[in-house]
Chains A and B, each alone.
Chain A
Amino acid sequence: MSTDQQEPNPDDFDTIVLGTGLAESIIAASLAKASQKVLHIDPFPTYGGPRHSSLTIPELVAHLPDLENSSYEYPAGSSAAAGGSFQQDVETGSRGRQYAISLYPAILPARGKLIDTLISSGVSGYIGFRVVDGIGLWQPSTSTGAGTSTNRGEEFASDIKKVPSSKGQVFKDKTLSLMEKRKLMKMLMFVANLDETKAIDDALLKDKIDMPFVPYLQQAFDLPLAMARDIAFGIAHCTTGKEPALVTLLRMQRYLRSLSRYSPTSSFLVAQFGGIGEIVQGFCRSCAVYGGTYILGDMARIKSGKQTEEGVEIQIEAQEGALRGKRLIGTDKALKQAGLLDASGDGRGSRRKIEESEPRRSNCVAIVSGLPPMVRSAFSSGRDGAQQTEEQEDEDEVAGNDVLVLVAPPPEDQEKGQEVSRILFMGSGTGSCPEGEYVVYISTPTRIGETNPAKALLDRLFVTPTSTALPTSAHQPGRHGPDQAPCWWGSFERVRVVGRDGPRGRARSGRAGRSGRRDDHQARRGRGWRR
């Protein structure tokens, strides 16, 4: 054995990754797998950090103060509704640990970069998924009129339209005329066969590539406005009706192709036990399996950091000596906190100030002891909403109503690009909560000064004109908002590299992508940063 070969210093790493958000975790996993020695740290105590973690209720209650503009409360009477001392139990006891609340609720299309990355990295093997059982369009505005119908099912169902999830369902839809069905099928076939490279020459797209999506659908396919909007918000999952045509068509194509990959009637998946937080843990585990070192929580708090000839040096709470990395990766925010990036920004002008008029989102998470009656009614298959029975509640899971999405499109007469509201129900099959309950996530547009519109939407879901006797949202131990972070289609922060491999200026990420896919991309191309 050679004696002059030095033992590697345990405090020297190839790469130090700051923060355990999704992008950072994918990077850490891919670098470790590429035989780099990785140190991955986060001052937040759970994998995923303050943006992407899934938390139990005691954890959520403890960390809410760390989240922007947050608050939570137990509505009056909630203890009684939950049968016992729900409040105390969830904050301290074992009951609260049965919940997984995602700070970043999201549904994943079955085809896409993230799913591909999960599979190719082997991380998918650690994680269980559920399919999204149904997507519905909700028009809360129409529910304000006094109900005259005595038929409960019909009344509720009228508010929520289930989005057809197969060709068969489109043909069976009684609300569409034969002509409308033909136009719709023509449109869907067009999307299915669209070739991006030839789009510019396509007669139906020529000169219309950047046209706002809803008017585009009306013009190119002669669709009525209502149907164009249903497609835009229910199938293409637009945030506003004004997204450019080609980009939106291609996204819709991906969603249509996602259909039947894992379920014959669903394009989307959620990860069990709280979604993205679980996926983050999967990547971190993969990193650890390939030798990555993890330090989370207070021990990982950075006391100081500096760039050196060899790369980067940081001091953390956990130990006296410095930890050295040839390079260090983190978001701007993390780098600033570590003193590795000038607090004033990147030299090209710091992040622009947020204007008052800029779209903001209000997010709310609630735990409820069952689906709202109108949701249950809308998604109960094959009953035509006519008869509601007592047993139905028990049948929600049997009927596959474990994961549901409601989309509330902005009003038709929107002035400038008002955004949709989105609601996600995660049932016990997702491991998010005990049997019979649901975790409900709501994200809705808001303006500065508006008080918690997401909570208002939640209340509306449960209180309908004819339902005074029906249960309201039973207990909401944790909700936070308003908050600028979008709820489940948001962008992840861009990451940058400093140190030996880091470009001096901007990270090569460009703008943060809408869906964060760009970040996945980056992570997988980790090496692309090397010059």
Chain B
Amino acid sequence: MSRNAQSFKLVLLGESAVGKSSLVLRFAKDEYSDFRESTIGAAFLTQTLTTDEGRDIKFEIWDTSTTPGYRSLAPIYFRNSAAAVIVYDITQRSQASFAQAKTWVQTLRRQADPSITIILVGNKLDLASSSRGTDRELAEAYAEEEGLLFVEASAKTGENVQEVFMQVAKKLPLAPPPQATSGGGGKPGQKGVKLAPGQASGQQAAQACNC
């Protein structure tokens, strides 16, 4: 579909029920449902966008299904991720999800590649006028202090959702991280190998298949 889209892994982080999956569904499929179950069954979604400069960026979006209370996120989740979208719910009076978002920032600093692009996203902007819990200024100031991108958005109305990913796309390096093997699979020889289903069958060896 796209000519030569560069592939980047993007991880989604945030407390349970802040709307991580809704955000991605809105972005990737332009769908929204008020009654989404917690994330089950989707390992990752992909979506391609074109930046203003005409660069095609393919996002490989890794969703989590964090169980409330226990956060044993595996390092595999952060491997080779070029970007992280940390989501919190702006309507929470307790600001618990905002506090959790800050914890995720620390985790990323510790575990992820230092060059990772992080964007802080306040979700449920559609409810801002009636039941805002976390001030925009507060979050903005925090993001600036930590050097994060920042957007408030609504997965429900779609407001600013494209903006989230567009902002990330603009920040991404021109060349993907050297060890990234996602997307087109490993190049023969030096790059990593991706095991693809297509290679599972058949005993016809003799073919140097590495693509």
Interface residues of A (CB under 8 A from B): 47, 97, 115-116, 118-120, 122, 124-131, 257, 259-264, 269, 272-273, 278, 281-282, 284-286, 288-291, 293-297, 299, 318, 397-398, 400, 402, 429, 431
Q: State the Cβ distance, B10 to closest chain A Cβ, in Å.
A: 14
Which residues of chain A have C-beta atoms less than 8 A from B206's C-beta?
A: 260
CB-contact partner of A131 in B39, B40, B75, B193, under 8 A: B193
Per-residue 0/1 for B58-80: is the Cβ within 8 Å of any A Cβ (1 yes, 0 no)?
00000111010110101111011
B179 within 8 A of A: yes
CB pair A130–B72 under 8 Å, yes or no, is: no
A-B pair number, CB within 8 angstroms:
120
Q: Is residue B175 contacting chain A, with contact meaning CB distance below 8 A?
A: no
The distance in angstroms between the C-alpha atoms of A398 and B64, with both chains bound, is 37
Give B contacts to A, CB under 8 Å. Answer: 38-44, 63-65, 67, 69-70, 72, 74-77, 79-80, 110-111, 179, 181, 186, 188-190, 192-197, 199-200, 203, 205-210
A-B contact pairs, 12 of them (CB 8 A): A119-B195, A126-B43, A128-B193, A128-B194, A257-B205, A261-B199, A262-B209, A281-B75, A289-B41, A295-B72, A299-B70, A431-B79
Instruction: Output the residue of B74, B110, B188 with the most chain A CB within 10 A.
Output: B74
| B190–A429 CB distance below 8 A | yes
Chain A positions within 8 Å of B80 at CB level: 128
Known A263-B193, A289-B40; further 4 A-B contacts with Cβ < 8 A: A273-B76, A281-B76, A318-B69, A429-B190
Specify which chain B residues have a CB less than 8 angstroms from the CB of A297 in the assembled complex.
72
Interface SS of chain B: loop
| Contact, CB under 8 Å: A289 / B42 | yes
**One of A118, A257, A291, A299 near B195 (C-beta < 8 A):** A118
How far apart are the CA atoms of A253 and B25 in the complex, in Å?
47
Give, as a whole number of angstroms, the nearest-CB distance from B66 to chain A. Answer: 9
Nearest 7 pairs of A and B residues by beta carbon: A124-B195, A281-B76, A264-B208, A128-B192, A281-B74, A296-B72, A128-B181
Cα distance A447–B42 when bound, in Å?
50
Chain A: which residue is nearest B210 at the CB level?
Answer: A262
B209 CB to nearest chain A CB (Å): 7
Docked pose: A131 CA to B181 CA in angstroms: 14
Whether B72 and A431, one on each chain, are in contact in the complex, defined by CB atoms closer than 8 angstroms, is no
Contact of B205 among A261, A286, A400 (CB under 8 A): A261
A119 CB to closest chain B CB (Å) equals 5
> A262-B199, A286-B43 are contacts. A128–B186 as well, Cβ < 8 Å?
yes
Expressed in whole angstroms, the Cα–Cα distance for A219 and B190 within the complex equals: 41
Known interface pairs A259-B205, A281-B74; A129-B43 also in contact (CB < 8 Å): no
Return the chain B residue nearest A120 by Cβ.
B200
Task: State how many angstroms separate the Cβ of B44 from the closest Cβ of chain A.
Answer: 8
B190 touches A400 (CB 8 A): yes
Minimum distance in angstroms from A62 CB to a CB of chain B: 15
B205 near A397: Cβ-Cβ < 8 Å:
no
Q: Which residues of chain B have C-beta atoms less than 8 A from A120's C-beta?
A: 197, 200
Nearest-neighbour CB distance to chain B for A335, whole angstroms, equals: 22
A284 partner residues in chain B, CB cutoff 8 A: 74
Known A-B contacts A281-B75, A284-B74; A122 and B43 likewise in contact (beta carbons under 8 Å): yes
B residues less than 8 Å from A290 (CB atoms):
40-41
- Which residues does chain B contribute within 8 Å of A119, judged by CB atoms? 195-197, 199-200
| Cα distance, A115 to B181, chains bound together (Å) | 18
> A263–B210 contact, CB under 8 A?
yes
Q: CA of A318 to CA of B71 in the docked complex: distance in angstroms?
A: 12
Query: How far apart are the CA atoms of A282 and B43 in the complex, in Å?
Result: 11
- Cβ-neighbour of A429 out of B63, B192, B209 (below 8 A): B192
Q: A119-B200, A284-B74 are in contact. Are A294 and B67 (CB under 8 A)?
A: yes
Judge whether A269 and B193 touch: CB under 8 Å.
Answer: yes
Kindly state the separation between the CA atoms of A214 and B44 in the bound complex, as whole angstroms.
49
Q: Once the chains bind, are B205 and A115 in contact (CB under 8 Å)?
A: no
A278 interface neighbour in B42, B76, B189, B193, Cβ under 8 Å: B76
Residues of chain B lying within 8 A (CB to CB) of residue A131: 193
Which chain A positions have C-beta within 8 A of B189?
A: 400
Residues of the B chain whose Cβ atoms lie less than 8 Å from the Cβ of A130: 192-193
Q: In the complex, what distance in Å separates the CA atom of A261 from the CA atom of B210?
A: 8
- Distance in angstroms from B47 CB to nearest chain A CB is 16
Contact A288 B193 (CB under 8 A): no
Pairwise interchain contact B76-A285, C-beta atoms closer than 8 A: yes
CB within 8 Å for A127 and B76 given contacts A260-B205, A397-B190: yes
> Given A257-B203, A286-B43, does the pair A273, B75 have CB atoms closer than 8 Å?
yes
CB closest chain-B residue, reference A122: B43
CB distance from B9 to the nearest CB of A (A): 10
Q: Give every chain B residue within 8 A of A116 (Cβ-Cβ).
A: 200
Cα distance A129–B75 in the bound complex, in angstroms: 16
Q: A30 → chain B, closest Cβ, in Å?
A: 14
Most buried by A among B44, B110, B200: B200
CA A97 to CA B39, docked complex, whole Å: 30
A262-B209, A263-B193 given as contacts; is B200 within 8 A of A285 (CB)?
Answer: no
Min distance, Cβ A34 to any Cβ of chain B, angstroms: 12
Partner of B194, one of A122, A129, A261, A429: A129
Query: Which residues does chain A contribute within 8 Å of B72, judged by CB atoms?
Result: 47, 294-297
Q: Given A260-B208, A397-B190, A431-B179, does the pair A282, B40 have CB atoms closer than 8 Å?
A: no
Contact B74 A47 (CB under 8 A): yes
Give the nearest-CB partner of B179 in chain A.
Answer: A431
A33 and chain B: residue at smallest CB distance:
B41
Nearest opposing residue in chain B for A56, CB measure? B75
